[in-house]
């Protein structure tokens, strides 16, 4: 790790540590070299910040996004099924009406023919 610090001015790590009471804590750890007046590294500075709350919020956000995505997919499927149902119903209503319209036309022509012959 010291070699990484030598190559860069500072390095940020996110890791999980166990607290004394056994809880797991999400930690952001910044490691930076400490240099003397000549620029020689004489030590390392480590700053640890607790990011457990941020990680919990990120997990909750991911859960909500997944839930919203599933709800959207379900709504889109419902919309698709509704459109398909309406297309079938529309076709089924038109089909008998076409036959009825055709027979009405035939009967009208027959009535006209009878009127012309009389």
Kindly indicate the confidence band of residue 7, based on its pLDDT and cuts at 50, 70 and 90: low
**Which residues, 6+ apart, have CB-to-CB distance to 26 below 8 Å?**
14, 15, 16, 50, 51, 52, 54, 55
Domain boundaries, the chain: 2-50
Q: Which CATH class is domain 2-50?
A: alpha beta
> What is the C-alpha separation between 86 and 80, in angstroms, rounded?
10
Residues 27 and 55: beta-carbon distance below 8 Å: no
Residues 26 and 16: beta-carbon distance below 8 Å: yes
Residues 26 and 14: beta-carbon distance below 8 Å: yes
Task: Quick: pLDDT tens for 29-69.
Answer: 988 888 889 888 888 889 999 999 999 999 999 999 999 99
Quote the pTM value.
0.53
59-69 core/surface letters (b: 16 or more CB in 10 A; e: else): eeeeeeeeeee
> What is the C-alpha separation between 74 and 67, in angstroms, rounded?
11
Sign, Cα dihedral of 100, 106, 108, 111: negative
């Amino acid at each position: 790790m010291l070699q990484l610090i030598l190559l860069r001015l500072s390095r940020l790590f996110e890791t999980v540590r166990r607290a004394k009471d056994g809880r797991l804590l999400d930690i952001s750890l910044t490691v930076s070299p400490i240099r003397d007046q000549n620029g020689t590294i004489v030590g390392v500075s480590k700053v640890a910040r607790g990011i457990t709350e941020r990680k919990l919020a990120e997990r909750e956000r991911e859960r909500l996004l997944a839930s919203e995505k599933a709800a959207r997919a379900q709504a889109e499927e419902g919309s698709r099924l509704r459109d398909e149902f309406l297309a079938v119903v529309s076709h089924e209503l038109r089909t008998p009406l076409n036959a009825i319209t055709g027979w009405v036309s035939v009967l009208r022509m027959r009535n006209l023919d009878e009127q012309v012959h009389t």
